[in-house]
Structure 1
Amino acid sequence: MVFKDISERKYADDVLKQIVVGTSAAIGDDFLKALVKNLATSLRVKYAFIGELTGGKPEKVVTRAVWANGALAENFEYGLKDTPCENVVSNKACYYPNDVQNLFPKDLLLVEMGVESYLGVPLYDNEKKGRGLLVVLHDAEIPESIDPQAIMQVFANRIEAELERHDAQMKLDKHLNDLERLVGERTAALETSNQNLSEFAFIASHDLQEPLRKVILFGDRLGELNRGLDEKSRDYINRMQGATVRMQDLIDDLLLFSKLTTYSSPFVKIDCNKIIEGTLSDLEARVNESRGTINVDKLPDIEADSFQMRQLFQNLIGNALKYRKEDVDPVINISAQPDGNGNVVIKIEDNGIGFDEKYKDKIFQLFQRLHGKNAYGGTGMGLAICKKIVEHHSGSMTVDSTPGVGTAFQVSLPKKHPLSERTG
């Protein structure tokens, strides 16, 4: 008797190992197919299938994998009513060792398949709600010597895990597809926006500039008649000329911004020291007028668009000169240091009027100003242009400021850029 128990236990272990080996290399539908095949073969039955509840009314089951008569078979759908499966999905394992056709006379599928015995165990989702069943059927009594119900339960748990993995994969795939669709829509919208900007740039450079030039021309001619005009007329002319200058500056900045958005060129290795030298040469008159002092440390070479870098430094240094304190000579310090991640952080620090840091995001937005246009000139686009340049270079830009003390901009830029023209 002891020998028989040991022999049966060893046989059951061998059956488990055989099924595990036969399914270990598969996932998804391949795993389900491998399982019904190895389960039917090991338990020596004609039929095995895995089914999932459809959730409809009346309740039905759709199979995910079917083994019949020694081969994989097509999946099928069937109703649960008046079948042994109806009892299984009611959350209990059911074993009918013989005469199952007479027990369920309305289940014509049992008759068609010539089934004599039936064993089914329920499958659950991760919330312990019924989601399907694992079934084996045979045209004779299912051998009990290896406790087939225990073996079925072991692999029912594995099926549940695989179905949950499949659900998670489906959700992930749907999320990725939705994300890909949104990215496509966003890309299309961005391309449309860029096209609109390009069209605007064309209009601004032709249709807007030409009449503006005429206004400036005739304003200058009226200004030449200064001696023959009264004070009010001269004031009107001065206002008109000031407005046309602001309009010209605005068009120029809008054109520059649109080019930053729509135009991309390979970057080359540039010497930031030479870029700063050229920028300071352009700003020499303003520096002298404000009696400013500009201290520049040794700056590194980076891979960038030299024109855009010059525009970036011109805007930031120009702002530092513009927003200076009354009766205090401006001092601007420019330095750089690596951040350890392949980037260079360039710092432009001034002793100007500063601003409340609650506005540190607002100042980078288009047409946003913290001061009236009469107090400080400009279009409200300078820092938006700076941010766009930095983003175009795959960098980042931050600012720290204290009212009455000064402002410090930190510009982080990669030393080597993927759009560069370097070779080798």
Structure 2
Amino acid sequence: MSEHNRLFDAADGRALAEAALRSITDSTARARGDDFLRILVRDLARALDVRYVIAGRVIAMEDGEGIRTLAVWGGADYLPNMEYSLRHTPCQDVTEQCMCFHGSGIQADYPQDTLLVDMQAESYIGMPMIDTEGQTLGILSAIDTRPMAEDKRLLALSLLSIFAARGAAELQHQDREQQLEATVQRRTDALLAAQATLVEQEKMVALGTLVAGVAHEVNTPIGVAVTAASTMVSYADDLIRCVGGERVSRSELLATAQRLREGAQLIERNLARAADLIGNFKQLAVDQGSTHVSEVSLREHALSVVSAHGPELRKVGLAVEVDIAPDLRTRLDAGRWSQVLSNLLMNAAKHGYPNGGPGRVTLAARLALDGGARWLLLEFADDGVGLTPEVRERVFEPFFTTKRGQGGSGLGMHIVYTIVHQMGGQVAVAAPAPDSAGCRIKLRLPVRD
């Protein structure tokens, strides 16, 4: 006879129950969640001297309710968790009757429960784990391959009653944590979706500003061309009258032809200027809508972006110096890179010169080796008012702006930060140059072969 059986034969069953209760309470005191249940099933099996102890959660299955085990002790070690239907099982009675006990012959009582056959079960006792609202969350059951005597039933009933309540509290805590996490996740997803919408709106606002500026800029050369064309019509009428008259001098013909030539040249220059503006804008719009990686001449690309933003920059009085070697070419996502440059330029124009220009912006780039990898190092600097320590710390935060209520969304530099990191790079605010109080941004992008 085992030591446990000798204990069960002792007269003082209450002392035995109290000793087992203290032992299990001490071992599970600091455990939470599934860890608590794993320790509990092991120690209950040892205290009750039974082969199996199962802690499981009630779940919905195709044929009704079922159990998903959270911890199973099987004699000498933990067994893998499993799922099984409650139909025709003693566990179903536990969920419906609050307690189920079969001292022997459990397989005969539930002939359709094949799990009992696999376990070679002879006796069973189970208690439901009920939450504070009266809902059955799970079960805690002890199963043995031997009959279960009355004294062991009383001890099992005492221990299972106490620890089923503790197990229910753990399951209820897990449910509340999952509900809280789900709520947080839903709200996080909603905030991210709202942020993405605002980012897209910011891009559209920037594009609208760019379109308005380009339209205004294009109007000037086209207006000059239209005026020149009207004047040329007048010159052509004069020429027709001269030719149709009785007398026409060579000097008059040459003068009229010269005026027509000058008018045509004026039209050509201004239409070329308009075509250049439209071409730069078109390329910028195409680039910003693209995610295609291609080889790019950094200098030409930067100049086209600067040219497209020319109207807005001239309005503030900003001159842009592009300090990039003509032969510097690399593979990158031209669309995203256009967005980065556009946002940096517009940030300088909006925030760097609150009292207006003139001002100077410098964009420099070079290639460098670091850790065996090639990197594109870029520096964007202006000679404006610079950044306060607080702004420097928060400049890349979404929705942070110093122009709140003045049209600032606080997303321009956040978009820069997001795009650069999506491209595998880094961006940071650097200390201004010794002879400048302006803003200096350093970017580092990996070079793709």
1:90-145 CA-to-partner distances (Å, cap 9, x unmatched) read 13211111222222233232222111111001122342122321110011233525
Asked whether the 8 Å contact 1:33–1:65 carries over to 2, the reply is yes
Paired residue for 1:263, among 347, 354, 373?
347
Correspondence for 1:93: 99
What is the TM-score with the length of structure 1 in the denominator?
0.50
Correspondence for 1:197: 205
Paired residue for 1:186, among 185, 194, 215?
194
Three-state SS of the structure 1 residue aligned to 2:97 is: coil
Shift of 1:259: 7.6
- 1:141 matched to 2:147? The reply is yes
Correspondence for 2:80: 74
Q: CA–CA distance in 1 between the matches of 2:172 and 2:345?
A: 45
Against the structure 1 CA distance between its residues 76 and 205, is the aligned structure 2 distance closer, same or farther, given a 3 Å change threshold? same
Asked whether the 8 Å contact 1:115–1:139 carries over to 2, the reply is yes
Paired residue for 2:47, among 42, 51, 68?
42
Write the letter of the residue equivalent to 1:48.
Answer: V
Q: CA–CA distance in 2 between the matches of 1:134 and 1:308?
A: 63
Q: CA–CA distance in 1 between the matches of 2:32 and 2:184?
A: 21
Write the letter of the residue equivalent to 1:39.
Answer: L
Correspondence for 1:272: none
Asked whether the 8 Å contact 2:202–2:409 carries over to 1, the reply is no
CA RMSD of aligned residues (A): 4.3
- 1:208 matched to 2:234? The reply is no
Q: CA–CA distance in 2 between the matches of 1:190 and 1:111?
A: 62
Asked whether the 8 Å contact 1:51–1:65 carries over to 2, the reply is yes
Shift of 1:6: 7.9
Asked whether the 8 Å contact 1:194–1:262 carries over to 2, the reply is no
Asked whether the 8 Å contact 1:49–1:66 carries over to 2, the reply is yes
Correspondence for 1:53: 58
1:222-254 CA-to-partner distances (Å, cap 9, x unmatched) read xxxxxxxxxxxxxxxxxxxxxxxxxxxxx98xx
Asked whether the 8 Å contact 1:27–1:162 carries over to 2, the reply is yes
Paired residue for 1:8, among 7, 10, 13?
13
Against the structure 1 CA distance between its residues 386 and 98, is the aligned structure 2 distance closer, same or farther, given a 3 Å change threshold? same
Against the structure 1 CA distance between its residues 130 and 101, is the aligned structure 2 distance closer, same or farther, given a 3 Å change threshold? same
Against the structure 1 CA distance between its residues 391 and 112, is the aligned structure 2 distance closer, same or farther, given a 3 Å change threshold? closer
Correspondence for 1:112: 118
Q: CA–CA distance in 2 between the matches of 1:204 and 1:308?
A: 29
Q: CA–CA distance in 2 between the matches of 1:8 and 1:106?
A: 36
Shift of 1:84: 1.7
Shift of 1:261: 12
Write the letter of the residue equivalent to 2:167.
Answer: I
Q: CA–CA distance in 1 between the matches of 2:212 and 2:386?
A: 21
Q: CA–CA distance in 1 between the matches of 2:165 and 2:126?
A: 13
Query: Structure 2 matches for 1:14-413, cutoff 5 A?
Result: 14-56=19-61, 57-142=63-148, 144=151, 147-211=155-219, 263=347, 306=385, 385-386=405-406, 388=408
Write the letter of the residue equivalent to 2:216.
Answer: L
Q: CA–CA distance in 2 between the matches of 1:420 and 1:6?
A: 81
Asked whether the 8 Å contact 1:66–1:72 carries over to 2, the reply is yes
Q: Aligned pairs, how many?
A: 258
Shift of 1:210: 4.3
Three-state SS of the structure 2 residue aligned to 1:114 is: coil
Shift of 1:167: 0.9
Shift of 1:260: 11
Shift of 1:187: 3.1
Against the structure 1 CA distance between its residues 206 and 74, is the aligned structure 2 distance closer, same or farther, given a 3 Å change threshold? same
Q: CA–CA distance in 1 between the matches of 2:188 and 2:69?
A: 31
Asked whether the 8 Å contact 1:260–1:388 carries over to 2, the reply is no
Three-state SS of the structure 2 residue aligned to 1:147 is: helix
Against the structure 1 CA distance between its residues 184 and 384, is the aligned structure 2 distance closer, same or farther, given a 3 Å change threshold? closer
Asked whether the 8 Å contact 1:308–1:389 carries over to 2, the reply is no
Write the letter of the residue equivalent to 2:104.
Answer: N
1:308-332 CA-to-partner distances (Å, cap 9, x unmatched) read 99xxxxxxxxxxxxxxxxxxxxxxx
Three-state SS of the structure 1 residue aligned to 2:169 is: helix
Shift of 1:73: 0.7
Q: CA–CA distance in 1 between the matches of 2:102 and 2:173?
A: 31
Unaligned runs of 5+ in 1: 219-250, 269-274, 280-304, 310-341, 343-382, 393-418
Against the structure 1 CA distance between its residues 131 and 306, is the aligned structure 2 distance closer, same or farther, given a 3 Å change threshold? same
Three-state SS of the structure 2 residue aligned to 1:55 is: strand
Q: CA–CA distance in 1 between the matches of 2:180 and 2:114?
A: 40
Asked whether the 8 Å contact 1:123–1:134 carries over to 2, the reply is yes
Unaligned runs of 5+ in 2: 1-8, 227-310, 317-341, 357-383, 391-402, 413-428, 433-449
1:41-77 CA-to-partner distances (Å, cap 9, x unmatched) read 2211110111222234333222221111221111122
Write the letter of the residue equivalent to 1:65.
Answer: A
Q: CA–CA distance in 2 between the matches of 1:199 and 1:75?
A: 57
Asked whether the 8 Å contact 2:130–2:137 carries over to 1, the reply is yes
